Amino acid sequence: MSAAPLLTTSGLTRRFGGIAAVTDFSCELFPSEILGLIGPNGAGKSTTFNLLSGFLRPNAGEVWFNGSRIDRLRPAAISRLGLVRTFQHNSLFRNLTVLDNVLVGATVSTRTPVERLRLAEATIDQFDLLPWVNEPAGSLPHGRQRLLSMAIAFATRPRLLCLDEPLTGLNQTETAKVLEIIKRLRSDRSTAILFVEHNVRAVMNLCDRIIVLDQGRKIAEGTPAAISRDPQVIKAYLGDAE
């Protein structure tokens, strides 16, 4: 990678009592890159996501994003800097329309009502949700709710979009749609993406690089081809996943 990293972590550690959920985690993520984070249940993926996005503070280590240290900032401040995340469970205003939900995200990155509406409508179009623009979010099927959660986050105009298991509960057709849109997001706006997911096939097909966690520690990092052949990864995770 020739560009400077967009995100850098060094020695990131988080303990809960006597249990180390993440230990000495260091990584770099570059502009426009799609980086996958995988591992078995309990590997520390969700804790890592929470550390990066400000929902947890580390016991040790640092997180730097776009030139600013962020590991002591609150989630809202980190979001305003351009690091935005989704959650495993859809975080929607279920009684509001699709448009109103995306307008909430657009509020972060726009100054006027006209600009906000224009951005929200363009984002809804990007996520193929225009036919449901005036429908209540809670009335959408699960797959479209997942897309709407991503649309809200993307309307903030993030430099880095962190997707926490976006394929959970989706069928094969819905999964293909989400992956298509993720690829489009990167190409349309040069947005970097951190992708946590249990669907190994999707991760291998989508990501430029992959980091593998096991018991809170990074055990491998590399291209999908290299990760798929790594004996330690196969023993810890891919053997069971396959």
Going residue by residue through the chain, which has 242 residues, state the pLDDT in tens, using 9 for 90 and above.
557 999 999 999 999 998 999 999 999 999 989 999 999 888 999 999 999 999 999 999 999 999 999 999 999 999 999 999 988 777 799 999 999 999 999 998 898 999 999 999 999 999 999 999 999 999 999 889 999 999 999 999 999 999 998 898 888 888 988 898 888 887 766 789 999 988 888 999 999 999 999 999 999 999 999 999 999 888 877 665 54
Distance CA 136, CA 62 (A): 41
Question: CATH classification of 1-82+158-242, choosing from 3.10.20.30, 3.90.1300.10, 3.90.700.10, 3.40.50.300?
Answer: 3.40.50.300
Where along the chain do its domains lie?
1-82+158-242, 89-156
User: Which two tokens mark 5?
Assistant: 């990293």
Here the tokens at position 44 are 């520390």
Strands of the sheet containing 60-65, edge to edge, are 19-29, 7-16, 60-65, 68-69
